[in-house]
Amino acid sequence: MHNPPGVVKLPALFIADVCKKSVMAAVTLSVDLGDRSYPIHIGDGLIDTPELWADAIPSKAVVITNETIAPLYAGRVRDALGDRWKADIVLPDGEQFKTLETLQRIYDVLLEQRCDRRVTLVALGGGVVGDMTGFAAATYQRGVNFVQIPTTLLSQVDSSVGGKTGVNHPRGKNMIGAFYQPLSVVADIGALRSLPPREYAAGVAEVIKYGLICDADFDRWLGEHIEDLAERRADTLISAVRWSCANKADVVAEDERESGRRAILNFGHTFGHAIETATNYTRYMHGEAVAIGMLMAADLSVRRGWVELAVLTRLRTMLEKAGLPTKAPEGISVDRFLELMGADKKVLDGALRLILLKQVGDAVISDDTPPDLLRALLSDWLG
């Protein structure tokens, strides 16, 4: 991707914000998957703009959210849906609840409400809600429609786009799931104003990822605007979300089911998922673990002689400015960490595949990392 911020693929829609104080441009992108293509709407106040998204819902809708988000936005979504609203399902909040047991609660309500195959599930929340709602949609009566309304930065730029759905297993993250695309994605940056600083920062990690793996222009832009992004400036946010989504949409359109290039989107994730699993999904938010994982992957890229040490140093500085952790947790043995990495979904035919950097903006899938080099890296990071 080499488009400057503000350049869009489809004409902008001009929508008054919630407070009617100003008018902001809502950017609309498209994920190109043939007859399963869908729009990504990005702007301020979109939850309260039903003609943009709710009118696309063909029949009754069930809103799936969590205990934190429901008091903030569920009422507004119900108002937008009008007589198409059927029920709310409010789940506990947290990665530790991304399980088959929690998923069962969704099925229970859908069956109690006698929802048929015309129902649309509306995912209102962060990545956990979106992943579980998408998996429920993929499996309830063998498939129903769903819409993503991501309310965290991480979910707006990453998990809501691309159709990855699923739940965790005690032995590995996202090990049970399906590829299943939504009807649309509605990324309302107004929702990001209510995020706690730590949760917002976790999303910035995924934003930084896109520049590193496939877009050097975006990486340079982020280097100049990381402070503005950390301060949640609206214009910077819209540009960052748009640029991130455009990059992900292009990769997904090329490789929907991660049989090839899409795997680069997992930069830092094999290390990060091992950190999450080792700490029982309670110590780190996903983006925080990914931030550490990206540093470990960048360090390995340096040790392989592919990028300069300056790339690692610059990445560490950007993550620190965003308020993200840059040190791995103590108390995990190298053998345990390798065991957890070996359980990752990206292992293929027993070979550990890592996403590394050849240069900024150019990530590669590597399955030939020398074991001694990987052990040395982990020994240094795990202390």
Q: Say how far residue 138 (Cα) sits from the centre of its chain.
A: 18
Lowest average pLDDT, out of 9-13, 134-138, 201-205, goes to 9-13
Q: Which of 269, 303, 345, 353 is catalytic?
A: 269
Closest alpha carbon to 89 in 113, 72, 53: 113
DSSP-derived letter for residue 328 is: P
DSSP-derived letter for residue 32 is: -
Q: Which two tokens stand for residue 173?
A: 């993250």
Q: Which of 86, 173, 248, 345 is catalytic?
A: 248
* Mean per-residue pLDDT, 162-185: 93
**Residue 173 parent element (H or E):** strand 172-179
pLDDT, tens digit, 9 for 90 and up, residues 15-26: 333 233 333 568
Q: Which of 98, 209, 273, 345 is catalytic?
A: 273
Q: What percent of the chain has pLDDT over 70?
A: 92
Cα dihedral 122, 125, 127, 128 sign: negative
Rounded Cα–Cα distance for residues 107 and 110 (Å): 5
Q: Domains in the chain, please, with CATH?
A: 13-195+232-252 (3.40.50.1970), 267-382 (1.20.1090.10)
Q: Is 248 a catalytic residue?
A: yes
* Mean per-residue pLDDT, 47-73: 93
Look-up: residue for tokens 């996202």?
174
Q: Is 142 a catalytic residue?
A: yes
Contacts of 16 (CB under 8 A, 6+ apart): 22, 23, 45
pLDDT, tens digit, 9 for 90 and up, residues 226-249: 999 999 999 999 999 999 999 999
Q: Which of 2, 21, 142, 327 is catalytic?
A: 142
Q: Is 266 a catalytic residue?
A: yes
Instruction: Report pLDDT for 350.
Output: 65
Q: Say how far residue 36 (Cα) sits from the centre of its chain.
A: 20
Residue 2's Cβ-count burial label (10 Å; 0-12, 13-18, 19+) is exposed
Q: Distance between terminal CA atoms of the chain?
A: 38
Q: How confident is the model at residue 346 (pLDDT cuts 50, 70, 90)?
A: low
Mean pLDDT of the residues in the chain = 91
Does the structure show a pLDDT above 90 at 13? no
Q: Is 225 a catalytic residue?
A: no
Q: Which two tokens stand for residue 135?
A: 């998996």
Q: Is 76 a catalytic residue?
A: no
Rounded Cα–Cα distance for residues 137 and 145 (Å): 6
6: left (phi over 0), alpha (psi -120 to 50) or beta: left
pLDDT, tens digit, 9 for 90 and up, residues 292-302: 999 999 999 99
Q: Which of 258, 276, 303, 346 is catalytic?
A: 258
* Mean per-residue pLDDT, 333-357: 84
